Amino acid sequence: MKYKILVVNDFHKKMKDVTTIKGYVDVQNKVQSELTDSIVKEGFNKVIINGDWYDGGYGSDTASVLAHTEADRKMYETLGGELYGVIGNHIRVRMDSNPELFLIQPHPYFKTRVPVDRDYQIIRTPDKLLLNGVQISFCHHNRYAKGARDYIVERDENAHYHIALYHTEDVIPSNVLYNAGYGTMVSEDSQIAECLWNVDYAIVGHIHKPIGAFPIRLPNGRVCTMCIPGSLTNTDSGLNARHDYVDAPVIEIDDDGKVTHSYFRINMHTDELHFAEKVDNSATKLKTIRGNAKKNLYTDEEEITTLFENDPKTFTSLNSFMLKQGYSDSDKELIQTVLDSPTDIKKLMEIWNKRESEESLI
């Protein structure tokens, strides 16, 4: 069987407009409708979402949940069930009411509070696919990752070509991040080389600014092509990552396993959005987005995209922030424990006592 696979990144669906972007939801609905139509027109028989299809939970807004998940179900049915996804970092944002969590049920690790009585996923989240000898690895976001080594995946012995999908900045060379305006190193080049040594083509999400494709020459003599297509949505009003379209990667695999790469341009209808500069006063912000009731807008507290993304010279994740600040492993472990199990005092004390004993030996 021949395959024609489209990969899209970071749609960040929301239930209502961002305070500084009027038309956010309407434009997203239009983009997804056109994307679903393109599945038939272009002959895509698989679509892979490379993380963060939703921005976060929808709270009690049942109407938006039903409408937006119905659009996803339509994509699923148009593809005959061949809708796949890499799990991104935003699955955890207001997780209990996050529609994406519902769409990936049943899942062995990420589970809804109320069980979903369904024996198939609307968005499938495997660890890998093997298609005519071509391996596609789904490198789901690892919140505990310390660097690129934590994203190393094995290459199947029957695979002659390996495509890996990542939703992390950890695998991106520091010079690429710096040139794109993200002024931090996340992983050393040696770690990235270890991660990519058996990968032929890497597609990376999480970074919203389109960077495109570039070669990475590895110490073992191989060349891995990395592609950073950018987000399918303009998630904030800043100019650094604003863009009008995405050239989404297309992977074609013929019956003999030959792989062909191309790109499918998706119009994001940025011209239909109204951007306003972010200011501190909420009343002033509301005046800049005339015609929207307050209940239809996110407040600052609700606006959550990639960590610190509005400042292009800072950090892309909590891990990169801690790395740049020189946090020790025990510092990181304490913070992660507070985030995961804030009431587990025993574990917190164990980490603290371990750090005290280690420091006493220095």
- Dihedrals phi, psi of 2, to nearest 5 degrees: -90, 145
Distance of alpha carbon 318 from alpha carbon 342, whole angstroms: 17
Q: Give the pLDDT of residue 338.
A: 72
Instruction: Locate the DSSP E strands across 11-133.
Output: 21-22, 46-50, 83-86, 128-131
Question: Which residues of the chain are modeled with pLDDT < 50?
Answer: 279-294, 299-315, 326, 360-362
Taking only the tens place, the pLDDT of each residue in 52-106 is 999 999 999 999 999 999 999 999 999 999 999 999 999 999 999 999 999 999 9
Find how far residue 284's CA is from the centre of its chain: 32
**Residue of 188, 134, 187 lying closest to 165 (CA atoms):** 134
Q: Give the pLDDT of residue 307.
A: 36
Helix axes 329-340, 345-360, angle to 10 degrees: 170
DSSP letter for 263, please: E
Cis peptide before 106 (omega within 30 of 0): yes
Q: Give the pLDDT of residue 182.
A: 82
How many other C-beta atoms are found inside a 10 Å radius of the C-beta of residue 9?
A: 32
- Adjacent-strand bridge partners of 201: 163, 225
Distance of alpha carbon 289 from alpha carbon 18, whole angstroms: 10
Structure-block tokens of residue 320 = 């990169």
Find how far residue 58's CA is from the centre of its chain: 18
Distance of alpha carbon 265 from alpha carbon 246, whole angstroms: 6
CA triplet 107, 58, 311: central angle to 5 degrees? 100
Helix/strand/coil percentages in the chain, nearest 5: 30, 20, 45
Q: Give the pLDDT of residue 306.
A: 36
Structure-block tokens of residue 110 = 């990420």
Distance of alpha carbon 226 from alpha carbon 177, whole angstroms: 13
Cα end-to-end span (Å), the chain: 61
Distance of alpha carbon 333 from alpha carbon 338, whole angstroms: 9
- pTM reported for the whole predicted model: 0.81
